Amino acid sequence: MIKAVLFDLDNTLVDFMKMKHLSCEAAIDAMIGAGLDTNHQHAKKILFELYDKYGLEEKTIFQKFLKKVEGKINYKILASGIVAYRKVRSGFLEPYPNVDYVLLKLKAMGLKTGIITDAPRLKAWIRLASMRLTNYFDVVITFDDTRKHKPSKHPFLAALNKLELKPEECLMIGDWPERDIKGASKVGMQTCFASYGNLKIKKTSADFKIKNLKELLKIVKK
């Protein structure tokens, strides 16, 4: 019997990659406007290659980008990019459709809810606050809580410890099979693949698959 539903954050509750692309496109345009000698498509390709190498949470990504493109950091260009990025990011952070509806329904059913994310603690809470979701969760496990990324068992075990539940009593929902589904399966949790957050993947080892978040309610009612 499911007693708790645990969510990944990015691309499960919030469309993180859409926000990332829009923010980076605005940053690139601003940097070109400030004097960066490159074209938009080439710059975006380099920037996301750097994200692939250093991670989507890399704090100095634009510094690394400028060193790659120009061989140095021009602070006029850097500042223009950062300001444009932050403006778009802060205005875009919104939950997927029906997130608040589903969370309220889960609470009404007497289920506990939680977050397990690889994001740093402050960034995770800022995203939740931006979406007005801070009061919905019984537990929020971030990278800072265990210093381990999924699919390590540690984040999942930390959530189980705080919820005081057995693995089989928890359902983990996420968009990344190699991290969310694999990690939760390691500790014995039931798993659900959020296919709307990762359209490239067609097959996973998850116990369930949903195309939109409202389908989750049918799963937990069984």
Span 29-53, average pLDDT: 97
pLDDT in the model for residue 18: 86
Phi, psi (rounded to 5 degrees) for 113:
-135, 155
Span 50-62, average pLDDT: 92
Tell me whether domains 4-14+95-221 and 17-92 share a fold: no
pLDDT in the model for residue 9: 96
Within 13 Å and on the Cβ side, how many CA atoms surround 57? 13
Span 104-133, average pLDDT: 94
- For the domain covering 17-92, report its CATH number: 1.10.150.520
Span 178-190, average pLDDT: 97
pLDDT in the model for residue 200: 83
Q: Is the pLDDT of residue 91 over 80?
A: no
Span 119-132, average pLDDT: 91
Most confident of 121-130, 156-165, 193-202: 156-165
Q: Is the pLDDT of residue 92 over 90?
A: no
What sections of the chain are H helices per DSSP?
16-33, 40-54, 61-70, 75-92, 99-108, 121-130, 143-146, 153-163, 182-187, 215-221
Span 128-157, average pLDDT: 96
* Dist. CA 203–CA 183, nearest whole Å: 17
| Contact (Cβ atoms closer than 8 angstroms) between residue 186 and residue 156 | yes
pLDDT in the model for residue 201: 87
Which residue ranges make up each domain of the chain? 4-14+95-221, 17-92
Q: Is the pLDDT of residue 56 over 90?
A: no
pLDDT in the model for residue 199: 82
| Average pLDDT, rounded, for the chain | 95
pLDDT in the model for residue 89: 85
- Please name the fold of domain 4-14+95-221: Rossmann fold (3.40.50)
Annotate 153-217 with DSSP letters as a single string: HHHHHHHHHHHT--GGGEEEEES-IIIIIHHHHHHT-EEEEEGGG-TT----S-SEEESSTTHHH
